[in-house]
Amino acid sequence: MVKRGMALALAGAAAIIVRASADDPKLELARKVNLAYVANMPSFVADETAKRYTSDSRSEKWQYQDTIQSEITFVGNRAVRRQIRRNGKPWDRPFDALPGFKWYGGFGTEIRPLFDPQCSTTIEYAGRAQARGHELRKYRFRAPADGCFAFLYFDNQQFNPARTGHVLIDEASGNVIQLDEEATGFPSDFSLMQRNEEVSWAEVRIGDASHLLPVAANFVILYSSGMRSRIEVEYRNHRHFEASSNITFPGR
């Protein structure tokens, strides 16, 4: 789920380097299930609440910055926010105009670069885990810079850094339940040093059907200045997207 300020845009595919696949039927199941999922991502609307915090190199304590609430509409892997409120007051400017760090991931754009066999992402089994009642398989992944993961933007800078992390996959269905990702290796003149992201999915009822949809995302950003940002995002009240809402997406 993506735009400027700190926008995400998928990079081109790279060479095939996928491990632990041919002899791991559970991973092959997850690959097929999740690539089919992102290819047919349901369009929906949700209420998004994001709490932002900042810190600096002199202290490990986080200082509350603000709370951003919006109605977020997902159409495929694109998203637009409307009815934005900052600390309870209407924000009548675009989302990109908010001061401070803006978040753009957390709704599925992380899945294709992870599982697409045309991407240079290595995946290795890392044991078992449990979360929210699910019996999970844990995999460690690594992707080089300029791979299939998204570019990261900050002001007028852009870079596609290397990624490492873990993905937790439901034992029975193959669905991704949680993913944590760390982006590092930025150029020395880039404003960011590191960006961490954690995304959680759960079965959500919309009408008479159940859909696997994002329910939470967390971001931690370390700037080259020593400052840090943290964003805790929740998605609630998922509902069908009505095409008559006349949603438009800014060009990028």
Structurally, the chain folds into a number of domains equal to 1
Residue 156's identity, in one-letter code, is N
Hunting for tokens 């599982």 — which residue is that?
115
Helices (DSSP H) in the chain: which residue ranges?
Answer: 25-39, 111-115
Identify whether 2 is part of a domain. Answer: no
Q: What is d(CA 203, CA 6) in angstroms, rounded to the nearest whole number?
A: 28
Identify whether 50 is part of a domain. Answer: yes
Using one digit for the tens of pLDDT, what is the confidence trace for 40-66?
877 889 999 999 999 987 777 999 999
Using one digit for the tens of pLDDT, what is the confidence trace for 124-180?
999 998 877 778 999 999 999 999 998 888 878 899 999 999 999 998 899 999 999
Helix (H) or strand (E) holding 210: strand 209-223
Tell me the mean pLDDT in the region 6-22. Answer: 38
**pLDDT of 17:** 37
- Look at 9-13, 27-31, 96-100, 221-225 and tell me which has the smallest mean pLDDT: 9-13
Identify whether 120 is part of a domain. Answer: yes
Where in the sequence is the domain holding 55, given as residue range(s)?
8-239
Identify whether 245 is part of a domain. Answer: no
Identify whether 138 is part of a domain. Answer: yes
Identify whether 206 is part of a domain. Answer: yes
The pair phi, psi for residue 3, each rounded to 5°, is -165, -155
Contact 111, 32 (CB under 8 A): no
**pLDDT of 199:** 92
Highest mean pLDDT, choosing among 36-50, 63-77, 177-191: 177-191
DSSP 31: H
Using one digit for the tens of pLDDT, what is the confidence trace for 192-224?
999 999 999 998 988 888 888 889 999 999 999
Specify the pTM.
0.82
Identify whether 246 is part of a domain. Answer: no
Identify whether 3 is part of a domain. Answer: no
